[in-house]
Amino acid sequence: MKKTSMKKWVFTSAASLSFLAAQGIADAAANHKVVKGDTLWRLGKQNGVTVAELKKANNRQNGMIFVGETLTIPDHTAAQVSSSTVHKVVKGDTLWRLGKQNGVTVAELKAANHLQNDTIYIGQTLTIRNGSPSPDAQTAPAQASAISAEDKDLLSRLVEAEAKGEPYEGKVAVATVVLNRVASPEFPNSIHDVIYQPLGNGGYEFTPVGNGAINQPASDASKRAVNEALASQNHPSDTLYFYNPRTAKSDWVKTRQVTAVIGNHVFAK
């Protein structure tokens, strides 16, 4: 009788463990309804997962997502075991930049340092946990974005105005700069606000906004370039500026590190 009871207990315990394991797997994922401005890259950084993991969890072959659809967000932070290093904040540091340098997400940095927002200060000491996915796994900010048709058209018109007559690759790179700025904490967080960002002198970040050229319709090539920038993961992840060295009036932008030269444009970070 005792042996029978013991076997029954063992069987029940094993079944319970199996249920708990299954429950743990189920709990290790959450649903997210895509809203305007979402990208796989941004959702990955917010939730501490890679773009590759998001694509796998949602059976995606590319990075395209759409407003209103529901995505599965895997959660494996509890299973991660990592060591930590200490970093003293210096001039120019941002959570976004430190994350890229150390292969961690902004969300992970904020969690490790109990930060409620992205503000950090020179001299502040931050804990950086190692052992997270590499920056390559996180991929570039230029992921397929859940943007409205209006913003997509606006970006296409900017590309047309800025890169008319430039190689197709240069058109894609201009669109990528805008998307990189949207993803960067150093710039506004929407395509519209990035494009219409004002300068202190009364002008705008992008010349076509000031001279009205942005109001002209986009060509098919510019529209294709925007689609490629939205869907591609192969463009430089930290390119935030571009200029024509023959016409650029800002000496400051010429001091930025060059990432590419395409046609008449120099691209820099």
- Percent of the chain exceeding pLDDT 90 equals 24
CATH class of 149-268: mainly alpha
Residue 54 sits at φ, ψ, to 5 deg, of -65, -45
pLDDT tens-digit readout, 120-133: 878 888 888 765 44
pLDDT at 156: 96
pLDDT band, very low/low/confident/very high, at 211 (cuts 50, 70, 90): very high
CATH 3.20.20.70 for the 29-77 domain, yes or no: no
- The first and second tokens of residue 86, run together, are 């200490």
Whether 16 has a pLDDT exceeding 50, the answer reads no
pLDDT at 220: 95
pLDDT at 267: 92
Same fold, 81-131 and 149-268: no
Q: Are 163 and 170 in contact (CB under 8 A)?
A: yes
Query: Mean pLDDT score of the chain, rounded to an integer?
Result: 76
pLDDT at 76: 56
Q: Higher-confidence residue: 138 or 116?
A: 116
Q: CB 234: neighbour CB atoms within 10 A?
A: 11
pLDDT tens-digit readout, 254-264: 888 888 898 99
Residue 64: HSE in the Cβ half-sphere, 13 Å Cα cutoff: 7
Q: Which CATH superfamily is domain 81-131 in?
A: LysM domain (3.10.350.10)
pLDDT tens-digit readout, 152-168: 999 999 999 999 999 99
Q: Are 176 and 236 in contact (CB under 8 A)?
A: yes
Q: Are 106 and 118 in contact (CB under 8 A)?
A: yes
pLDDT at 167: 92
Cα–Cα dist 62/228, whole Å = 11
Is 0.75 surpassed by the pTM of this model?
Answer: no
Cα–Cα dist 204/194, whole Å = 10
pLDDT tens-digit readout, 37-80: 787 777 877 887 777 788 888 887 666 787 888 898 887 554 44
* Tokens 């109001």 sit on residue: 215
Report domain extents, the chain. Answer: 29-77, 81-131, 149-268
What are 84's strand-pairing partners? 129
